[in-house]
Structure 1
Amino acid sequence: MNAAVQKSIDFTEGALRKKLLLFVLPILAGTVLQQLYVTADAVIIGKYTGKIGLAAIDSVYALIRLPVLFFAGISAGASIIVSYSYGAKDFKKLGTAVHTAVLFALTGGIALSAAGIVGSPYILNLIAVPAEIYDYALSYVQIYFAGFVFMMLYNICAGILRALGDSKTPLYILIISCFTNIALDILFIGYFKWSTAGAAIATSIAQCISAVFAFAALIQSKTEGRLYPKKLRFHSQTLKRILITGVPIGIQSAFYPIANILIQSGINASGTDNIAAWALCGKLDFLIWFSVGAVADGVSVCAAQNYGAGKIDRVKKGTLFGIFAGTLTVLIISALLYLYSDTFAKLFISANDYDVIAITVRIMHFIAPFYVFYVFGDLFSASIRGSGKTFTAMLVSLLTICGSRVLWMLYIAATGADFMRIIVCYPLSWFLHSLAFTVYYLIYTRKNFKLSA
């Protein structure tokens, strides 16, 4: 067996635990790398453009983030369909899924790029971007949307590669892309002084490189999921399955930030120190979300492949091992955050900001013991999504996460806002989310392991 085949992992055979770990680690490394890039990008933009550049990009962050999250959900749906066909060894359906998904990324990406470029001025006026940063924000968002097709193509191709058991190739592509982006940021922003437009051009070029490499990797794949450009065409039933599977994931992903915006508005009213402390906590606990997210990706692919193969026992074994690994990881990180939150906080803020550090420690001492609740809900949800029940996963998530947070903020508004009372909604929503998915998984999965179509 050659190297190209060996780096693809088949979850339907062999040592499941080892394969899950080998699959998850490159995904985790990739997400950490992306976070480091985001940090470096912010430093470069802040250094060379100052507060105007930072404010301009931040003002359109939500505008960019929502379609990114939604179409990442579509990519996840395509990945599930590909994983299912790969596990079932139904190579005809596998081929149609791969080619339909890639063509959808190309056509959908071009359409969204055009809509984003044309619609950006109207949306920026709608969200009241200040006049002093308007031109900077507009140039950034229009150039960013021009490259959106490359982001969609990369996400779809990388998702297909992972669905075929190859999580290493997307990591290698990310490494190239991130370092290219940073180098171009320095060139375009620092040397050419292109400000926010330079940042967007650098991002679009890096995304183009990612898309080309991922597309080429599928063409050169030695698996049955190999891409043949001449065979790119839509298959209506396959596209329908991808959308039915992916749209609920996209809606779920897009609604999370909307609920969090409501919470952030309450935090914003509690004072600068509290805002800064909460922002610091977001920088400290990112490893928890990345770790659980990486394990969830592994559990989802494992579930989809084995459900396709009809090996339900391996679906359950993969899910339970994922929960064990995720729980152990989160407990370790939570303990470190609880014990050393003051030390970690000083990495991001001056040691002289005593009040902010004290609030950060207080938040971490309150919230760290509850991070583990997040694991069960997210990983049971990933297994259910991998088995095709994405609408159910979306419904439960929206009710328990978004619904509980909105209701909590309405309660806070009626009874009086207090900073620590506001953030109670996070562990509360994690607990409800995990409880609901655990009950659903334990009671109903034996009868409902059936792919939605």
Structure 2
Amino acid sequence: MATDMTEGNIPKHIVKFAIPLVLGNLFQLTYNASDSIIVGRFVGKNALAAVGIANPIMNIVMFFIVGICLGASVLMSEYYGAGNIKKLRREISTTVIAGFIFTIVVIILCVTFTEPILRLVKTPEVIIPEAAIYLRIIFISLIFTFLYNIYAAALRSIGDSKNPLLFLMISAVLNVVMDIIFVVWLKMGVAGSAIATSIAEMMSCVFCIVYVYFKIPILKFSLKDMILDRSLLKITVNYSWATAMQQTCLYIGKFMVQGAVNSLGVDAIAAFNAVNRVDDFAFAPEQSISNAMTTFLAQNRGAKKVSRIKKGFYSGLKLETLYWCILVGIVFFGATPIMKLFVNANETNVINTGSYYLKLMAFFYLLPSWTNGVQGYFRGMGDMKVTLRSTFAQMVGRVGFSYILAPRMGMVGIAFSCLGGWIVMLAYEVPFLIKHRRNFNNKIAESSM
């Protein structure tokens, strides 16, 4: 159901929109988490390390595609907020056509160069075969990732974040069931895990497209409606390229940090895989609140509701901080039980290493809650360059600190490198935020004279 965010209670709109996004992201993360838990417990430490090394590589590509959809969704939200349904439909058709072609090209390149990429990050030879087969299967299913995300973005742009959640919930349950079948019963190892994830992704895509076709008339397209608008394509590329690069920078950073972790041995790689899953779960609500802010601000920018923009931004930041207050206790006190989900109890070194990392990160998570809020503001206001540059600054800081600290401090150094990266990011973002707010207020004052 569509929701107009240009009227009504502001915090209620953001919370109501963010909750399905939070739940949806958490369910989507269960794809990889269930892979890691089941593979780690039923296949072994090397298999867990293989999936762990594959994860940041997979995410670089996957979140580049997600970033394309996120950039397009800002335009969709703006056109919907302005009441321009014709332009909204043209934007969707343009993005679907261009994005589909681009995704096919990406799949071909990724499948071809899987093993060279793994060697580039100093992957131990013993786990390259398993990591390679896992990645190739996941890469082939990227077309379903794109189609789900672009249709989910279209639904969210009109204020419907509940139905994309429903489709993810169903596919997440399917993924866990198929993981058990392929990995535990059929003994297919990491290949079975990848197949389970791919089938689940395909099903979420099918559910989303079928729902849109039968239930949302303004988003229903026939073949003759699928038009590539060159003028809109140029605007979409400008938005989507920046958000895709911003999303990718984050995971390129993880990819490069993986290189520093790989030199610490298989135990550290296995621990890093597990804590990365926890990081992803911790960040998901922060990113969902940020995305809710983006949609809210974009709709109100399209409707030229200036006062609601300011109130929406501050409401979003308050929600981000409140979430961290809840998160810190859960992660700090639950660190050891969480690690025991991923490996057998006799892997004490992996458990202790991961637990100490998580106890530090519980406090560090406050900073990305703020950076996500600021990023949501800039995306909603259509300024993608700041989000890209700040993420790049964070990536450079984090990677640089990790290669300096990891050899001296092990996984503790990796945790502190995250902290350093977020400090660099905030130091870059805050001056631009102050300047942007001042300039925006001046423009409004001038236009009202």
Scaled by the length of structure 2, the TM-score of the pair is: 0.85
Corresponding residue number in structure 2 for 1:383: 377
| Deviation string, structure 1 residues 386-407 (Cα, Å, up to 9, x no partner) | 22111222112212x1232244
Corresponding residue number in structure 1 for 2:446: none
- The structure-2 alpha-carbon separation of the partners of 1:120 and 1:210, relative to structure 1 and needing over 3 Å to count, comes to same
| CA–CA distance in structure 2, aligned partners of residues 356 and 194 of structure 1 | 24
8 Å contact 2:67–2:243 — kept in the other structure?
A: yes
- The structure-2 alpha-carbon separation of the partners of 1:147 and 1:88, relative to structure 1 and needing over 3 Å to count, comes to same
- The structure-2 alpha-carbon separation of the partners of 1:204 and 1:346, relative to structure 1 and needing over 3 Å to count, comes to closer
Shift of 1:179: 2.0
Between stretches 287-296 and 369-378, larger displacement belongs to 369-378
Corresponding residue number in structure 2 for 1:418: 409
Corresponding residue number in structure 1 for 2:423: 431
8 Å contact 1:164–1:225 — kept in the other structure?
A: no
Identity %: 28
Runs of 5+ in structure 2 lacking a partner? 444-449
| Deviation string, structure 1 residues 163-216 (Cα, Å, up to 9, x no partner) | 111111111111121222233333344454444443333333222222222122
Between stretches 154-163 and 330-339, larger displacement belongs to 330-339
1:21 matched to 2:12? The reply is: no
- The structure-2 alpha-carbon separation of the partners of 1:186 and 1:164, relative to structure 1 and needing over 3 Å to count, comes to same
| CA–CA distance in structure 2, aligned partners of residues 192 and 336 of structure 1 | 35
Shift of 1:76: 0.5
- The structure-2 alpha-carbon separation of the partners of 1:85 and 1:41, relative to structure 1 and needing over 3 Å to count, comes to same
8 Å contact 1:177–1:207 — kept in the other structure?
A: yes
8 Å contact 1:31–1:290 — kept in the other structure?
A: yes
- The structure-2 alpha-carbon separation of the partners of 1:417 and 1:47, relative to structure 1 and needing over 3 Å to count, comes to closer
Q: Which has the higher contact order (CA 8 A, sep 6+)?
A: 2
| CA–CA distance in structure 2, aligned partners of residues 300 and 83 of structure 1 | 9
Shift of 1:350: 7.2
| CA–CA distance in structure 1, aligned partners of residues 87 and 258 of structure 2 | 45
Runs of 5+ in structure 1 lacking a partner? 1-6
| CA–CA distance in structure 1, aligned partners of residues 238 and 187 of structure 2 | 45
Number of residues of Structure 1 aligned to a counterpart in Structure 2:
441
- The structure-2 alpha-carbon separation of the partners of 1:386 and 1:135, relative to structure 1 and needing over 3 Å to count, comes to same
8 Å contact 2:49–2:273 — kept in the other structure?
A: no
Shift of 1:351: 7.4
Q: Which amino acid aligns with 2:432?
A: Y
Matched residue SS, 1:243: helix
8 Å contact 1:376–1:437 — kept in the other structure?
A: no
| Deviation string, structure 1 residues 27-49 (Cα, Å, up to 9, x no partner) | 11122222333232234344554
- The structure-2 alpha-carbon separation of the partners of 1:12 and 1:68, relative to structure 1 and needing over 3 Å to count, comes to same
| CA–CA distance in structure 1, aligned partners of residues 203 and 429 of structure 2 | 39
Q: How does 1:366-381 map to 2 (within 5 A)?
A: 366-381=360-375
| CA–CA distance in structure 2, aligned partners of residues 364 and 134 of structure 1 | 27
| CA–CA distance in structure 2, aligned partners of residues 188 and 339 of structure 1 | 34
- The structure-2 alpha-carbon separation of the partners of 1:333 and 1:183, relative to structure 1 and needing over 3 Å to count, comes to closer
Matched residue SS, 2:6: coil
1:445 matched to 2:437? The reply is: yes
Matched residue SS, 1:220: helix
Shift of 1:153: 0.7
| CA–CA distance in structure 1, aligned partners of residues 54 and 268 of structure 2 | 24
Shift of 1:262: 4.3
Corresponding residue number in structure 1 for 2:304: 310
Q: How does 1:340-351 map to 2 (within 5 A)?
A: 341=335
